[in-house]
Amino acid sequence: MRVVRFHAPGDVRIEDAPEPSPGPGDVKIRVRACSTCGTDVKILNFGHHHIVPPRVMGHEIAGEVVEVGADVSGWAPGDRVQVIAAIPCGVCGECRRGRMTVCPNQVSMGYHFDGGFAEYMIVPPNVLNVDGLNRIPDGLTFAEASVAEPLACVLNGQNLAGVGEGDDVVVMGSGPIGCLHVRLARARGAARVFLVDLNRERLDLAAGLVHPDAAICGSETDVVDAVLKLTEGRGADVVITAAAAGAAQEQAVQMTARQGRISFFGGLPKDKPVIALDSNLVHYRELTIVGANGSSPGHNKEALRLIAEGAVPVADLITHRLPLEGALDAFGIVARGEAIKVTIEP
Ligand SMILES: [Zn+2]
Ligand SMILES: [Zn+2]
């Protein structure tokens, strides 16, 4: 079969690999859609400390069951499934407290296990043990289902930041994650949602799809001023940074309303994790700053449901579909910010 395999930073090959056969606790799937994201570009360029090459990449996975291992029950060939990316252990102290996103024993598809940029893939017992294989509701395409994984992460972020009814929300970063944040905030009853990006073209592309109440280009205007003006000087109830930029996080703190919440949703580059934070703003305005680290199996289920019910449509966010052989082109399109979501259909 054909796979997209990471060998070393800058060395990702589209090549032949033996088709896997399922062990006793495994489920084998025919991958039908695996979406790409910024993480894939990061892996291509820098590798990842959890990836021992060669490793099939791809973690936003949807497909069809073709074979089940001897000890597996509840799944049969033909079942349409979505696979979680981050796999908690299910048994440690955090997992038992329901905090699966911060499980210290977490492993991931496409990192510790071969991922979805392949014709066939094994879903390991680790996924099945934590209820991480989800049935795709009727009427949902594989491509749409593959977006459940990033939406699950967005859902975790908005749960932690308490996005809700009547909130003015600022989303900084208009990539696929930013677009999902805009859509989910609307679904949760936000009053107004403002979208920010430094890149005018990318901002226009995103705004044309998700229609924020205002689109603010950070390279043309002072973002903090613009948000304060739009909110009658109050600031936003919630600011979400979906950009790997310390400056965005610093601005977020400046434009948040009293008792507002800030989600540092996107991580910063490893070599630049320190920002300048006016801690008196946090103190006097009673701000809450929260992080966000991936998603749990439960978030994936809820994300699939939100997509299926039409609360968070994603079909129009998939702007590019490419065959497996086009994976390297896909990474280029993602890296240049020319797309919202690029889905590989192996
Ligand atoms: Zn991703
Ligand atoms: Zn755990």
Percent of the chain exceeding pLDDT 70 equals 100
Band (270; pLDDT cuts 50, 70, 90)? confident
Taking the centre of ligand 2 as the mean of its atom positions, its distance from the CA of residue 48, in whole angstroms, is: 21
Taking the centre of ligand 2 as the mean of its atom positions, its distance from the CA of residue 94, in whole angstroms, is: 6
Tell me the residues surrounding ligand 2 (ion) with CB < 5 Å.
Answer: 88-89, 92, 95, 103, 105
Model pLDDT for residues 97-145, shown as the tens digit of each residue: 999 999 999 999 999 999 999 999 999 999 999 999 999 999 999 999 9
Model pLDDT for residues 5-19, shown as the tens digit of each residue: 999 999 999 999 999
Q: Which ligand is nearest to the CA of 42?
A: 1
Taking the centre of ligand 2 as the mean of its atom positions, its distance from the CA of residue 26, in whole angstroms, is: 20
DSSP-derived pairing of the beta strands 288-290 and 318-322: unpaired
Q: Which ligand is nearest to the CA of 93?
A: 2
Residue 179 confidence (pLDDT): 98
- Identify the CA nearest to 324 among candidates 8, 146, 11, 57: 57
Neighbours of 284 (CB within 10 A): 10
* Distance of alpha carbon 218 from alpha carbon 194, whole angstroms: 12
* Distance of alpha carbon 256 from alpha carbon 254, whole angstroms: 6
pLDDT of residue 186 exceeding 90: yes
Taking the centre of ligand 1 as the mean of its atom positions, its distance from the CA of residue 60, in whole angstroms, is: 6
Model pLDDT for residues 36-94, shown as the tens digit of each residue: 999 999 999 999 999 999 999 999 999 999 999 999 999 999 999 999 999 999 999 99
DSSP state of 137: P
What are the C-alpha distances in Å from 72 to residues 61, 90, 145, 188, 213? 20, 18, 23, 37, 48
Taking the centre of ligand 1 as the mean of its atom positions, its distance from the CA of residue 258, in whole angstroms, is: 33
N- to C-terminal Cα separation, the chain = 10
Percent of the chain exceeding pLDDT 90 equals 99
- Identify the CA nearest to 242 among candidates 176, 336, 318, 299: 176
Band (239; pLDDT cuts 50, 70, 90)? very high
Taking the centre of ligand 1 as the mean of its atom positions, its distance from the CA of residue 36, in whole angstroms, is: 6
Q: 9, exposed or middle or buried, with CB in 10 Å at 0-12, 13-18, 19+?
A: middle
